[in-house]
A and B are shown apart, each in its own frame.
Chain A
Amino acid sequence: MTWLPDSAPGAEPLDRVFGLRPNLYEDFQRWSALFWEEGVLDPRILELCRLRVAQLHGCESELRIRHRPAIEAGLSEAKIAALQRASSDPAFSEVERACLAFSELFVADPNAITDEDARRVTEPLGPEGTVALVQALALFDGFARFRLMLDVEAPAEERVVVSAPGSAETALD
């Protein structure tokens, strides 16, 4: 539970914290929802990278969330469960592995990303996909840390499917 003495109205824990700055939260939600729109980047890659970033931070409130576009595109819980061994698991494609490796370096030390690490991402994704990926990683990394710093609670349900942060839709089985 957050250590802030005040809270905003809202259904989700993030609403009650970030909602204290309503105009900022509104613009944040608009920006973060765009990544899940069709044609920006494969939502399965986005979701895998988001969850890997959350794992690296130990961010339980991010780990409980799933995004509907990724599930509808076929991302399974079995694959999510295998995320930590993605580099050797044949269920993961080359591009997924490259994006996950890039994500890990992005979180730990972006100065350690080599030209070869970058090439493994830029070649399959192209400039548009790569720019979408790095912006998404900035969002995932930055706001997993935001949740941790402010002790934003995890959603009450085990897994919540949302289309954008703060807009819970359905609890999964």
Chain B
Amino acid sequence: MPRIRPPKTDSADPVQRSALAHQPALLAAFTRLYGTLWSHGVLDLATKEMARLRNARVTDCRFCRSVRFAGARDEGLSEALVEEIRDGYEEGPLTDRQKVVLRYTDAFLKTPGDADPALREAMLAHFSSEEIVELTAAIALFMGFSKIAVSLGQVPESMPVTVMPTPDR
């Protein structure tokens, strides 16, 4: 049950139709930041989408879990691969690079203050410094958005998977 009623709007965009529209300047700045992250970055979209969906699962945001961004699908992130972003992914068929992304996302969400030398080494083996900064900022924004959605009142229990355009500014 939503805890804040969204303002009236003609927009079809689910975020623009949400309670976040009560602060239009903040929403516009966030939308620009999110668009830069997704469409003007150095890291591939499928990697960011894997981190976003892992966060959605761990943070338990039903809205975030139901959304797929088109650009990541175009890069090959199929529903079969999305299924592998489950607990126990270490035993599944994902590549080492994909597993490192999920491990890094889990560390961000669960133990951000615990330095893990092996994880850092694995990250540096697969990603540049620029890519690591972008991925870390991405997880911060994914987690933040999920927590906003949860704290303002969850969406219904079942939502169909919805493919949305990749955010751009």
Contact = CB atoms under 8 A, between A and B. Distances in A.
Interface of A: 3-7, 17-18, 20-21, 23-24, 27-28, 30-31, 34-35, 40, 57-59, 102, 105-106, 110-111, 113, 115, 118-119, 122, 127-128, 130-132, 134-135, 137-139, 141-146, 148-151
Contact of A148 (B112, B120, B147): B112
A20 B30 contact: no
30 contacts: A3-B124, A4-B132, A21-B42, A24-B33, A24-B133, A24-B134, A28-B33, A30-B33, A31-B32, A31-B33, A34-B25, A57-B113, A106-B147, A110-B59, A118-B152, A122-B3, A122-B4, A128-B22, A130-B152, A131-B23, A134-B147, A135-B26, A137-B144, A137-B151, A138-B143, A138-B148, A139-B144, A141-B143, A142-B140, A148-B112
Interface residues of B, number: 53
A132 B59 CA distance: 21
B163 interface: no
A58 B112 CA distance: 10
Nearest first, the 4 closest Cβ-Cβ pairs linking A and B are A138-B144, A142-B140, A6-B129, A31-B29
A150 B23 contact: no
- Describe A's contact surface by its main secondary structure: helix
Contacts of A139: 144
A135 B136 contact: no
Contacts of A4: 124, 129, 132-133
A28 B23 contact: no
